[in-house]
Amino acid sequence: MEWGMANRLAQLIQPDGYALFLPVDHGYFQGPTTRLEQPRQTIEPLLPYADALFITRGVLRSSVDPDNALPVVLRVSGGTSVIGGDLANEGLTTSMEEAIRLNVAAVGISVFVGTDYEKQSLLNLSRLVNQGERYGIPVMAVTAVGKELEKRDARYLALASRIAAELGARVVKTYWCEKFDRVSGGCPVPVIMAGGPQVDTEMEVFEFVHDGMQKGAIGINLGRNIWKNDYPVPMIKALRAIVHEKATPDDAQQIFETERDRAG
């Protein structure tokens, strides 16, 4: 692997082999998502505990100071909205030249396997990989399901993740599911887990993250289950312990409660 590509991947995947990305890109199709209305306020307290930000260029420029050293995974697909025709109908929104100008560690793009826009989104991924490889910029593929959250089972996610890796993604972001080892085991590049909509309890989050880590994920790209929580900093600290310190769900719950009580 060329030095630039290896260096960028090393900025994202930590020396222990694991990674915690903080996604704050949701506004690119959801608008001012609850608790992400003012991105700077959401992002700043969490920065010390994340390994990278997953973010669009607009929020990066407006809401993150350039002297902040956190590596950036730049969201470069979009062109749809929650009130539009089909969330899968995405295109590339941001050029590789812009990604280089923003000094990013990687670029991220959604693919929508099994939809009317499957071919379009997979060819977008392929095009992005061709450009990224030219400049040593890794591509993270996101196996997106749009509004069809029920699609998130091992069979579907294994298929979508493998296709993304085959087309050249250096990292695949997918959802946790039962039998997650079928997803990670069939994907020849590192897999990280997204969270999806906020679940009812912190313990549910700790349990699925821990299970996915045991079954081959190298980390998380978890947004709403962190920053929609009433205590986002205790939440990210507890999750960091699972990802980087082999904490169990019970350990994580303990960390969460201690930090929450300290925060008052």
Q: Which of 18, 49, 54, 206 binds ligand 5RP (CB under 6 A)?
A: 54
CB of 197 to ligand 5RP, least distance (A): 7
Q: Which is nearer to ligand 5RP, 124 or 225 (CB)?
A: 225
Which range, of 22-30, 65-73, 81-89, 117-125, touches ligand 5RP by CB under 6 A?
Answer: 22-30
Taking the alpha carbons of 41, 82, 236, 14 in that order, is the dihedral positive or negative?
negative
CB of 53 to ligand 5RP, least distance (A): 10
**How far apart, in whole angstroms, are the C-alpha atoms of residue 127 and residue 143?**
17
The answer to whether the beta carbons of residues 193 and 176 sit under 8 Å apart is: yes
Contact status: 232 vs ligand 5RP (CB under 6 A): no
CB of 102 to ligand 5RP, least distance (A): 17
Contacts 24+ apart (CB under 8 A), 159-166: 159/113, 159/114, 160/111, 160/113, 160/114, 161/186, 161/187, 161/191, 162/186, 162/187, 162/188, 163/111, 163/113, 163/122, 164/111, 164/125, 165/141, 165/189
> In the window 233-262, what residues touch ligand 5RP (CB under 6 A)?
none
Q: Report, as residue numbers or ranges, the catalytic residues.
A: 173
**How far apart, in whole angstroms, are the C-alpha atoms of residue 111 and residue 161?**
9
Contact status: 211 vs ligand 5RP (CB under 6 A): no
**How far apart, in whole angstroms, are the C-alpha atoms of residue 181 and residue 217?**
8
What does the angle CA 123 – CA 129 – CA 133 come to, to the nearest 5 degrees? 155
Helix, strand, coil shares, percent, the chain, to 5 = 45, 15, 40
Contact status: 222 vs ligand 5RP (CB under 6 A): yes
**How far apart, in whole angstroms, are the C-alpha atoms of residue 111 and residue 90?**
9
Contact status: 196 vs ligand 5RP (CB under 6 A): yes
CB of 25 to ligand 5RP, least distance (A): 5
Residues in the interface with ligand 5RP (CB under 6 A) total 13
Q: Which of 195, 219, 234, 249 binds ligand 5RP (CB under 6 A)?
A: 195
Contact status: 132 vs ligand 5RP (CB under 6 A): no
Closest residue by Cα to residue 222 from 31, 29, 49, 85: 49
Q: Which is nearer to ligand 5RP, 56 or 184 (CB)?
A: 56
The answer to whether the beta carbons of residues 57 and 74 sit under 8 Å apart is: yes
Contact status: 223 vs ligand 5RP (CB under 6 A): yes
CB of 107 to ligand 5RP, least distance (A): 13
Contact status: 139 vs ligand 5RP (CB under 6 A): no
Q: Which of 87, 106, 125, 142 binds ligand 5RP (CB under 6 A)?
A: 142
CB of 194 to ligand 5RP, least distance (A): 4
Which residues contact ligand 5RP by CB under 6 A? 23, 25-26, 54, 142, 194-196, 221-225
